[in-house]
């Protein structure tokens, strides 16, 4: 089994590789002063906002916020995992990738995780076979056909059928030669449930089966739609070592596979909505997995596109879900990101609408979708008469708490300008009132913060001794030229200054996301300095936080804020 890639090799590789050459091979770059520019490959744009810095060896898009080092670019652009990206860069330089010895404990954990993927693949193949051959399959096949899903689409999404009965999958596994350990892995993967006497029974029974894939296309869980009168109507796999429903999106892998570039993604409510849209040629739909949309879902979406269309059912529940998503999305609305809401007629969902009205009508409806800012002001105006001065004052008091969570930038300033125009007041007054409003607690990361990181910081890079740093619990806003933002920018360009400057412990205050991030950056740099003579480079710092909610803020700081000439003095001040 291949071991971990040594951190020293990764650092040396990034020192030797030229990010301009790596990106230019895939996205033609043009010289622009000391940097290079291109239209961003991660979102649709006509004016180049994708910037590559050859001195610091990182890229940043001022449109969608994408940014990082050469490894992160390859992972996102070519949809590959961390080791594959490292191998690609090593091949470019004509060198081999070394691997360190893996401890027995690490090998056991890897084997355990891989065995879960293996048994889930077995379960998927079993369910697909039952959909084709089981004597009771007619009901499942009829349901799929009646929903307008073709055999080809069912195959592409690997739909299956779990027959009625308590131990069909269990018996199939035993007949395939599964031992006790493999059966235990089926339980660990959420497919079997253990009874008090130690025996197992199937979790999914008499249901249409929808495999759920991760970004790499691996099956990590299943959803099941009941065919009989059993409850619940939809059942998902439980949380497992490979499946965390708060972070996953059904259809995202298929959307990325079907589109070289995702101009926008459509968030719908259920599996069948996703399939119905794909069936009719709209191959950029996805859905959450029985949970409300959260900040992790949104950050994951915005890593692949700059625009999200929210299309929920046209009933009251769908409208309330859209309102909750709007409030959740506000802290994520960095400049260059866009959310619009498509409200379908009452009683309609994307599945029924596109069946009855057709693809062209649905696309027309997409073009007429309501921008987030319009919906925000509509919510703020509920129960308010703008014909009176008192009504306008109340409108302002209801709108400002919605504007407060927006990250500092052009979009937030434009929202304040619109509010000032609608209420007939000046922007300066609104900014004063905004400053008086307590900052809302932003949605945090999954409790298992480290597991939210992408491959580089998780299982593929050997962690340095003492390299664990406090990770901010809240997603930081991109604030304009605050002292903390200046400090972050200076440290990203001059990490060695962390050796000279003493930072106040108050920066780690959990109420200040930016301060907590600065404390984490300082702690990481100092931990590296404790083991090595040289401070980590800019691209190593960006790589350390790659794939986390803080990544875009750091990329923004590195690209947007040029440190002053007397940077060290400024940092001390």
Pick the CATH number of 104-236 from 3.40.50.300, 3.90.980.10, 3.40.50.150, 3.60.110.10: 3.90.980.10
Q: pLDDT value at position 18?
A: 92
- Find out whether 351 and 466 touch, Cβ atoms under 8 Å: no
Predicted local confidence at residue 440, as pLDDT: 57
Of residues 101 and 480, more confidently modeled:
101
pLDDT of 131 > 90? The answer is yes
Pick 238 or 551 by higher pLDDT: 238
In sequence order, what are the residues at sequence separation of 6 or more whose Cβ sits closer than 8 angstroms to the Cβ of residue 398? 379, 380, 381, 382, 384
The yes-or-no answer to whether 104-236 and 463-572 have a common fold is no
What does the CA dihedral 199, 200, 206, 207 come to, rounded to 10 degrees? Answer: 170
CB 546 within 8 A of CB 456: yes
The full set of domain ranges for the chain reads 7-93, 104-236, 261-442, 463-572
- Superfamily assignment of 7-93 in CATH? Zinc finger, CHC2-typedomain (3.90.580.10)
Whether the model clears a pTM of 0.85, i.e. scores above it, the answer is no
pLDDT at 1 over 60: no
Proportion of the chain in helix, strand, coil states, percent, rounded to 5: 50, 10, 40
SS3 130: helix
Query: Mind listing the pLDDT tens digit for each residue in 67-118?
Result: 888 988 988 888 777 888 888 899 888 888 887 776 677 777 778 888 999 9
Cβ atoms of 206 and 163 within 8 Å: the answer is yes
Tens-place pLDDT, residues 202-236: 999 999 999 999 988 899 999 999 997 778 899 99
Rounded Cα distance between 505 and 104, Å, is: 39
Q: Return phi, psi of residue 219, to 5°.
A: -75, 125
Q: Does domain 261-442 have CATH number 3.30.56.10?
A: no
Of the given ranges (217-231, 399-413, 546-560), which has the lowest mean pLDDT?
546-560
The pLDDT of residue 461 is above 90:
no
What per-residue confidence (pLDDT) applies to 220?
95
pLDDT surpasses 50 at 447? no
Give the C-alpha distances (Å, rounded to integers) separating 17 from 10, 24, 86, 90, 94.
10, 13, 11, 9, 11
Q: What is the pLDDT of residues 271-291, one digit of tens each?
A: 999 999 999 999 999 999 988
Which of 1-5, 34-38, 568-572 shows the lowest mean pLDDT across its residues? 568-572
Is residue 17's pLDDT more than 70?
yes
The span from the CA of 350 to the CA of 354, in Å, is 6
Candidate from 25-39, 314-328, 443-457 with smallest mean pLDDT: 443-457
Q: Taking the domain 463-572, which CATH number applies?
A: 1.10.860.10
pLDDT in tens, 186-196: 999 999 999 98
Share of the chain above pLDDT 70, in %: 84
For the chain, the average pLDDT equals 83
Higher pLDDT, 529 or 300: 300
Angle at the Cα of 545 from the Cα atoms of 470 and 466, rounded to 5 degrees: 45
Measured on CA atoms in the order 230, 236, 239, 245, is the torsion positive or negative? negative
Q: What is the mean pLDDT of residues 393-397?
A: 93
pLDDT grade, residue 318 (50/70/90)? confident
């Amino acid at each position: 089994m291949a071991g971990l890639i040594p951190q020293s090799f990764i650092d040396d590789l990034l020192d030797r590789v030229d990010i301009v050459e790596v990106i230019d091979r895939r996205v033609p770059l043009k010289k622009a002063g000391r940097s290079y520019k291109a239209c961003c490959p991660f979102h649709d744009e006509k004016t180049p906002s994708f910037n590559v810095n050859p001195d610091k060896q990182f890229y940043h898009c001022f449109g969608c916020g994408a940014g990082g080092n050469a490894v992160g670019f390859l992972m996102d652009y070519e949809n590959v995992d961390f080791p594959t990206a490292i191998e690609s860069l090593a091949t470019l330089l004509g060198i081999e990738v070394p691997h360190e010895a893996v401890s027995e404990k690490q090998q056991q954990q890897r084997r355990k995780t891989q065995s879960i993927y293996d048994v889930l693949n077995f379960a998927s193949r079993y369910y697909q076979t039952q959909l084709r051959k089981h004597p009771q399959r007619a009901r499942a096949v009829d349901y799929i056909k009646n929903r307008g899903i073709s055999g080809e689409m069912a195959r592409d999404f690997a739909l299956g059928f779990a027959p009625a009965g308590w131990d069909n999958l269990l018996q199939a596994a035993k007949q395939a030669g599964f031992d006790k350990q493999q059966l235990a892995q089926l339980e660990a993967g959420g497919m079997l449930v253990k009874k008090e006497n130690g025996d197992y029974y199937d979790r999914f029974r008499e249901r249409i089966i929808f495999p759920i894939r991760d970004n790499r296309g691996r099956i990590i869980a299943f959803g099941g739609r009941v065919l009989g009168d059993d409850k619940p109507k939809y059942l998902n796999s439980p949380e497992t070592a490979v499946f965390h429903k708060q972070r996953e999106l059904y259809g995202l892998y298929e959307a990325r596979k079907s589109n070289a570039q995702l101009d926008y993604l459509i968030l719908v409510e259920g599996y069948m909505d996703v399939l119905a849209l794909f069936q009719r040629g709209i191959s950029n739909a996805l859905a959450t997995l029985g949970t409300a949309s959260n900040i992790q879902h949104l950050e994951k979406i915005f890593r692949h596109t700059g625009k999200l269309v929210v299309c929920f059912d046209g009933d009251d529940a769908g409208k309330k879900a859209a309102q909750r998503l709007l409030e959740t999305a506000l802290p994520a609305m960095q400049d260059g990101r866009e959310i619009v809401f498509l409200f379908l007629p009452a009683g309609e969902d994307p599945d029924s609408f596109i069946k009855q009205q057709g693809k062209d009508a649905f696309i027309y409806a997409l073009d007429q979708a309501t921008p987030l800012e319009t919906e925000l002001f509509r919510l703020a105006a509920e129960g308010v008469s703008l014909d009176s001065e008192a009504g306008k004052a109340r409108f302002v008091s209801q709108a400002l708490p919605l504007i407060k969570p927006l990250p500092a930038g052009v979009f937030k300033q434009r929202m304040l300008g619109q509010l000032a125009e609608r209420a007939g007041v000046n922007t300066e007054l609104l900014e004063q009132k905004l400053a008086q409003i307590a900052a809302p607690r932003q949605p945090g990361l999954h409790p298992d913060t480290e597991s939210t990181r992408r491959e580089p910081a998780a299982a593929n890079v050997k962690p340095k001794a003492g390299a664990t740093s406090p990770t901010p619990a809240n997603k930081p806003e991109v604030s304009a030229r605050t002292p903390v933002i200046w400090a972050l920018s200076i440290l990203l360009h001059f990490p060695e200054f962390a050796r000279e400057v003493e930072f106040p412990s108050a920066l780690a205050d959990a109420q200040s996301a930016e301060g907590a991030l600065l404390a984490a950056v300082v702690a990481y740099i100092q931990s590296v300095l404790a083991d090595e003579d040289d401070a980590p480079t800019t691209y190593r710092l960006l790589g350390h936080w790659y794939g986390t909610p803080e990544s875009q803020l750091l990329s923004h700081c590195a690209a947007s804020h040029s440190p002053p000439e007397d940077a060290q003095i400024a940092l001390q001040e």
